Structure formats: structure tokens, C-alpha cells
Amino acid sequence: MHRRVWGPAVALALLMMAVPTASAKTGLPTRAEPLPLERLFDNTAVSDDARPGEADFDGSGGSLSARDLTAAGWTPGRTLTVQGARLTWPRRAAGQPDNVRADGQSVRVRGRGEALAFLVAGTAGDAATGTGVVRYANGSRSSYRLTAPDWRRGPLATKAVALPHVNTPGGQLAEKARLYVVTVPLVHGRAVSSVQLPRNADLHVFALSVRAGAPGWTGSWATSTSGYTAVGPWTDRTLRLVVHTSAGGPRVRIRLDNTFAAAPVRIGSATVAVQASGASPRSAPVPLSFRGAAGTEIPAGAQAFSDPLGFDVPADANLLVSFHLPGTVTAAPVHSLAVQRSYLSEPGDHAADATPDAYTSAISNWPLLTGVDVGGGPGSVVLLGDSITDGEKSTPDANLRWGDVLARRLRDQDVVPHYGVLNHGISANRVVTDRYPGDGISTDTGGVSALNRLDRDVLAQTSARTAIVFQGVNDVRWGASADQVIAGLREIADRAHARGLRVLAATIVPCEGEARCTAAADAGRSAVNGWIRSSSSFDGVLDFDAVLRDPARPSRMLPVYDSGDHLHPGNAGLAALAEAVDLRVL
């Protein structure tokens, strides 16, 4: 995969030689032998509800509930996948040391990948931050900065899991306890040998690992979790979801995400097939497996990848991904605006059905399923956007989102590689403000902000090489200042560049005539666009504003491109956006 050439500031930060650690007692340099993290545990975070005094996570007697952790599926010794990283919850009973207070300890870590993943929480009331060092097998080092949000006050939008109680010596409090997965960049291509933790005793580390890249895989289809909504309830039902591929390949795997959830979800079985029509497969669905088993349980906040399956995935085609839910599901993570009919079965495991007969209900969202990867290929382009990218006002079931048209252009040429295109648009999404708070049953499916979902929806995506950021209109329509949007876009670019991604920015298209597109909103839009066009923060600019605007009245869309609501382009406008992309900048 192509990697960005580091700028001088980033290169200096990544390649600087670390200052040797020093003993707190003598002030002399020390060179401690790296040890596995569990041998360094010096703090107890988890207590039995009946014996809360056996743990003191925060120095004031507060602790996590072992019962709540078990209810979330976070059991001792269990390996969870979060944001593509495999992290093992400490194999310790309640009341035993289960985490490290960061104090410069040297931790044995092995692996080669694009990021370090830490399972952390802070206990200072505010975020706990510090700088550490990564040592590589070739003798080089890089520095990293790690920030752990507070376990009781940190943002719910970015947490890995939230537990419903806090244990204290005086009794249990009905208050959310949070744990976070935070990733930091590694020097690409180098094998990690050890990690020196920061020095901040309020920064607690439960687990860490190298998040490997995805060599041999290209993301073909993806979507973002936009909320956690009430469903059904579904008991012993099968979902047959229709998704549209961008790139094709000879192998397939799927990704299921239990994002924002408070409890595990059980998958009984799963299959994949090419769609003939509706819920009918072209041929018998092929079973998928999860670590060799027909099904899997996904803990709260975690994800599951299916095992690689030899299966010929066509490019630019509809797949049927079917999975059985054997238990009762009353709420689920969903992508709300699919612009695509999918199907729900009558009771029973119908994942392997070669006929549509059991699928008697249609649904218009995508629950749980967030990705389809194909074997081989050159990697993927990720679209980070709002309802225009999500396909609002495009013809349902026709795959006419601008990302779909871009994928067809890539497939039908030989100037640049046939990249996959991953659509992470969320209708109503904003750059700097959460529409959904990130916890609890959702009544708003506008998602957490682009800043808060960047790690999950861009940086952790399969073989991502380029991100296209096309957001901001909802921010200015709802009162955010141009400066706030600009600061958010700049942060997105900086964080993505630190991971070696190319970042392209698209200008915000005009929307005069829509109720919230006031003159003030248009002034903010124009200011953001002026900054995008002149900024050095991006590797390229897609001037979508210039593509769609009416030359006679630049604050509105050309009528031929307007869906009729003056905010969303119709099919012709979406196609015009995709056609305007110079494929060579990808």
C-alpha cells in the first residue's frame, strides 16, 4: 500500500531518539528488561459487588463492577477485537491487580502493523496524557503521545464500553464507568519489540497490542454505525442484508460490529451469496465461520471478522449477507439510511436458505454488518461524509450514490489501481458535534461527530489509503462557526496524515432554498470553502461546490442537479460529483 511521505515535523516526532528512563529514587538512567504487561500490574480496578473494598481504581475507593463486565461480555482472559485491534481483557479475578499505572514501565510487545492499540482509562477527573516510546527490532525508536479519557467523565461517543455502575466502599452508584481503546501510530513496516509507557500515574493500561494492517485484503463495502436503536424485538430471526460491492476478489470476509451496545449479541450462523433478485440468491449461500465455529458472540462495543472464505466476489454487484440471531434482540447498532431494501425472516435459522420464502419482511437499514472485504486488490478509498455521501434522495435499490459511481469509474479504467470505495457517510452527521451521544438507545441516528468516529470509520478501515472528507454543511446549518468547522477539518487531516493516509477535502455544496440554509449559514459555508481551497492541510481538493452551483446564483444548486429539497443532489448531481473526481489524486 502506498504510504504518505512524512513531513519534517511528523518524521521528527516519529524518529526521534528517546531520552533514557530514569529511576524516581536515584535520578539515574535505567534500562529495565521488557516484561509482559500482566507481570507489571500494580492496580486493582475490578471488584466483586459484594466486596467493593477489594479494589481501588482511582485512589478514592472507586472500582468497576465484575458483574457489569460479565454482563457486557468482558470476561477475564477474553480477547476482544475493537477498531481492528485484538486486545485481551486481563485474566484476573475480581479483587486482583488487573492494570498498570503508567510510570515509564517497559512492556514486551511483538508485532508489525500500523498502530499500537491501548485499552485504557484515566482517573484524574480529566483526561490523563503522557508521552512514551516504541522500540523496534532494528534498534530504532519512535515517540507517541497517549491520552486516556477519564473513566467517569470521559466522552461516551468514543468509549469502547460503558458499564452501568461504579462500585464504592459506601455502595454502588448508578453512574456510567467507561473504558477506552486508543490507538497511536507506528513507523510503517518496522517490527515492534517493546513499548515504554508514559509517566502519569492517573493513566491506567489494561492491555495493549500492535494493530496489524490487512495485507492481502481490500475493503469492498462498508458502512458506519449511526446509532443504537430499538428493533423488533427479534427472537430467533435471520437477517438477509443486501450490500453492493465496489472491488471484487477471490476471497471474502465480513465484519460485524456491536458498536455502542451494552450487552453481547449472539450470531448463530452466517452465509454469503450473490443476489439474483430480492432475497433470492443466484446460487446456494455459502457458510461463513468465525475462528472455525459456525457462529460467534460479540461483546458489547466489540466486533467480529469472519474467517477468510474462498468465494468469487464480483465487482459492482449485490451480495446477500445473511446471519441468524438465535436469542432475543431488542436493540442493535444500525446504519439507518441504507437506501436499500434488506430482509427479515420468519422464526428460524434461514441463513443457508436458497429460496426467499422465509424472508417475509423488508427493512431499510443495515443492523450489525459494517464491512465486506475481498482478497487481493490495492486497498481502499474511504468517504467520510454526511447525507449527500450516504445517498439521501438517490433512487432506492439502484446504487447511485456518488461513491457507487466513483467505484464504477475506477473499475472501468486502467490509469490508476482498481481501489475499493468505502462509504462512511451518515445522514445528518456533523464534523464537530455529536447527534447521537454514543450510549443508550438512540432516537437520533445522525451518529457521533466525524472527529469522534474518525478512528473507527477511517483509520481502522481495511487497507485504507486515501480519505475523502466531504462534510460541514450540517454544522453551519445548525449554528457552528466557520472557525469551528475549519478546526475540525484540520484535526481530521492531521490525524489521518499521522497514520500515513492521503487526505482529500471536498468543498461544501450550496443549499439556498432549504429552510436552515440561511444567509448566515451560506457565509459560513463560503468561509470554510475558501479555507479548503487555500489550505495546505490536504493532499488535494475536490471542488464539489464549483461542480453543482448555479453560476447565476452561486449560493444555490443548479436545478438540474437539485433533488428538489435544495440541500441534496439528485441522481444527476451525485453522478456529477463522482465524474468530477480526478482519479489520479486518489
Helix (H, G, I), strand (E, B) or coil at 328: strand
CB neighbours (10 Å) of residue 317?
Answer: 16
CA-to-CA distance for 54 and 51, rounded, in angstroms?
Answer: 6
Cell matching residue 584 = 489520479
Give the DSSP per-residue string, 266-305.
EE-EEEEEEEEETTEESSPPEEP-BTTBS-EEE-TT-EEE
Give CA separation, 14 vs 11, 188, 197, 247, in Å. Answer: 5, 10, 16, 33
Strand partners, 470: 385
Non-local (6+) Cβ contacts of 461 within 8 A are 219, 222, 371, 380, 382, 422, 424
Task: Give the amino acid at 437.
Answer: P
**How far is the CA of 240 from the CAs of 248, 320, 324, 449, 476, in angstroms?**
20, 6, 9, 29, 38
> Rounded CA gap, 557 and 238, in Å?
43
Task: To the nearest 10°, report the CA torsion of 489, 542, 419, 321.
Answer: 70
Would you state the pLDDT for residue 398? Answer: 98
Residue-wise pLDDT tens for the chain (586 aa)? 333 333 433 333 333 333 333 334 334 334 579 999 999 999 999 999 999 999 999 999 999 999 999 999 999 999 999 999 999 999 999 999 999 999 999 999 999 999 999 999 999 999 999 999 999 999 999 999 999 999 999 999 999 999 999 999 999 999 999 999 999 999 989 999 999 999 999 999 999 999 998 889 999 999 999 999 999 999 999 999 999 999 999 999 999 999 999 999 999 999 999 999 999 999 999 999 999 999 999 999 999 999 999 999 999 999 999 999 999 999 999 999 999 999 999 999 999 999 999 999 999 999 999 999 999 999 999 999 999 999 999 999 999 999 999 999 999 999 999 999 999 999 999 999 999 999 999 999 999 999 999 999 999 999 999 999 999 999 999 999 999 999 999 999 999 999 999 999 999 999 999 999 999 999 999 999 999 999 999 999 999 999 999 999 999 999 999 999 999 999 999 999 999 999 999 9
Rounded CA gap, 508 and 503, in Å? 16
Grid cell of 6 as nine digits: 512524512
Among 28, 397, 459, which Cα is nearest to 214's? 459
Q: What pLDDT, on the 0 to 100 scale, is given for residue 31?
A: 55
Taking each helix axis as running N to C, give the angle between helix 571-579 and helix 402-411, from 0 to 180 degrees, rounded to the nearest 10.
Answer: 40
Residue corresponding to grid cell 436458505: 353
* Closest C-alpha among 524, 542, 434 to residue 486: 524
Minimal CA–CA distance to 351: which of 382, 324, 326, 388? 324
Is-contact 520 485, C-beta < 8 A?
no
State the CB neighbour count (10 A cutoff) for residue 163.
23
User: How far apart, in Å, are the Cα atoms of 562 and each of 182, 470, 549?
Assistant: 41, 18, 10
CA distances to 87, 305, 457 from 216, in Å = 22, 15, 20
* Per-residue CA distances from 13 to 148, 190, 518 (Å): 20, 16, 43
| Cis previous bond, 233, omega within 30 | yes
pLDDT of residue 28: 33
Cβ atoms of residues 384 and 502 within 8 Å: no
Q: Name the grid cell of 178.
A: 467507561
Contact present, 203 and 102 (Cβ < 8 Å): yes
Radius of gyration of the chain, Cα coordinates, nearest whole angstrom: 24
The pLDDT value given to residue 3: 36
Please report the sign of the dihedral spanned by the C-alpha atoms of residue 506, residue 510, residue 516, residue 521. Answer: positive
Q: Are strands 141-148 and 128-136 parallel, antiparallel or unpaired?
A: antiparallel
Cell 456510567 belongs to residue: 176
Quote the pTM value: 0.94
